[in-house]
């Protein structure tokens, strides 16, 4: 088998894995009014330092490289698009992606918290999706925890000299999945199950969320790679400004 054939077989195997997953149910942001007030305040408070760091990080990047504002806008728009597309999943229900991986890779994880919270506020107010009371918790899972994991994986792949695109794919998709792990934990902390406590409860939520999200995470990874290829081709100077091109080459 040559390289290409190996890739095709691996791809087919991945497909089989994805579609072999047993049907369960679905999920997304934590619904309005579903977290006790205590937890709403706690998650909100935890999110605030990240948001401030994000604001400062964006300010710093923009003052250094004013032109990169276009890329930042695109990163934000990417979150907008991906989190608005509800996609049918193998479990027979819909869920949507986060789109935060792109911003995390290009601008660093804290900057994405600002992009993410804009989208979350939009959805909470206009779409009754997520919610204002659960904004803190949702911000933490989608705009903070996910991007940080994405960024970590991207850096790790770079260190291990993994192919750049594979690294981006892994970063975006695992970050997406991790967002839902955090959502499960957040719900579990608020609703520990009677026998087994928080952990049993987390497992239950995770069983609901993870299978639905897995194929979507793969789509998110693919789309992130595609848009990075596009930017590399047409916006090389901006990416160089952001320090993405230099050292990023394999």
Binding to another protein, residues 84-123 (CB under 8 A): 84-90, 92-96, 119, 122-123
Tokens of 111: 């900057």
DSSP state, residue 68? G
State in angstroms the smallest separation of the CB of 54 from another protein: 19
How many angstroms separate the CA atoms of 102 and 106, rounded? 6
State in angstroms the smallest separation of the CB of 100 from another protein: 13
State in angstroms the smallest separation of the CB of 167 from another protein: 15
Q: Which of residues 40-79 bind another protein (CB under 8 A)?
A: 70-71, 73-74, 76-79
Do residues 65 and 248 lie in contact, with contact meaning Cβ atoms separated by under 8 Å?
Answer: no
Q: Which of residues 153-172 bind another protein (CB under 8 A)?
A: none
Rank residues 17 and 56 by Cβ distance to another protein and give the closer one: 17
Report the first-to-last Cα separation within the chain, whole angstroms.
Answer: 24
Other residues' Cβ atoms within 10 Å of the Cβ of residue 159: 9
Distances (CA, A) of 65 to 50, 73, 85, 238, 241: 22, 14, 31, 8, 6
Rank residues 192 and 248 by Cβ distance to another protein and give the closer one: 192
DSSP state, residue 237? H
Collapsing DSSP to helix, strand or coil, 88 comes out as: strand
State in angstroms the smallest separation of the CB of 52 from another protein: 25
Does 37 contact another protein by CB under 8 A? yes
Rounding to the nearest 10 degrees, give the CA dihedral for residues 104, 151, 144, 71: 0
Q: Which of residues 173-232 bind another protein (CB under 8 A)?
A: 187, 191-194, 201, 204-205, 208-209, 215, 218-219, 222-223, 225-227, 229-231
List the one residue from 12, 13, 45, 128 that touches another protein (CB under 8 A). Answer: 128
How many angstroms separate the CA atoms of 56 and 248, rounded? 25
State in angstroms the smallest separation of the CB of 33 from another protein: 3
Q: Give the chain's length.
A: 250
State in angstroms the smallest separation of the CB of 2 from another protein: 16
List the one residue from 28, 42, 181, 182 that touches another protein (CB under 8 A). Answer: 28
Count the site residues for another protein by CB under 8 A.
Answer: 75
- In a 13 Å sphere around the CA of 148, the CA atoms on its Cβ side amount to 16
Q: Which of residues 130-149 bind another protein (CB under 8 A)?
A: 131-133
Rank residues 47 and 133 by Cβ distance to another protein and give the closer one: 133
Rank residues 22 and 160 by Cβ distance to another protein and give the closer one: 22
Rank residues 47 and 83 by Cβ distance to another protein and give the closer one: 83
Other residues' Cβ atoms within 10 Å of the Cβ of residue 163: 10
State in angstroms the smallest separation of the CB of 96 from another protein: 7
How many angstroms separate the CA atoms of 203 and 207, rounded? 6
């Amino acid at each position: 088998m040559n390289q290409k054939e190996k890739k095709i077989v691996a791809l087919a195997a991945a497909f089989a894995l994805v579609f072999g997953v047993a049907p369960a149910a679905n999920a997304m942001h934590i619904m309005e009014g579903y977290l006790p007030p205590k937890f709403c305040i706690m998650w909100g408070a935890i999110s605030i330092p990240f948001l401030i760091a994000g604001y400062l990080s964006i300010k710093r990047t923009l003052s250094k490289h004013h032109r990169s504002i276009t890329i930042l806008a695109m990163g934000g728009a990417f979150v907008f698009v991906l989190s608005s597309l509800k996609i049918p999943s193998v479990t027979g229900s819909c869920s949507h992606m986060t789109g935060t991986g792109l911003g995390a890779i290009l601008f660093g994880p804290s900057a994405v918290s600002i992009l993410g919270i804009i989208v979350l506020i939009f959805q909470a107010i206009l779409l009754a999706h997520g919610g204002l009371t659960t904004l803190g918790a949702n911000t933490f899972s989608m705009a903070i925890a996910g991007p940080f994991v994405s960024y970590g994986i991207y850096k790790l792949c770079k260190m291990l000299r993994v192919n750049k695109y594979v690294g981006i794919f892994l970063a975006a998709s695992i970050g997406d999945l991790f967002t839902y792990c955090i959502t499960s934990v957040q719900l579990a902390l608020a609703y520990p199950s009677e026998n087994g406590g928080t952990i049993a409860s987390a497992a239950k939520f995770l069983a609901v969320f993870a299978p639905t999200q897995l194929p979507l995470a793969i789509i998110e990874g693919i789309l992130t790679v595609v848009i990075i290829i596009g930017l590399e081709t047409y916006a090389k100077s901006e990416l160089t400004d952001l320090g993405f091109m230099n050292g990023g080459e394999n």
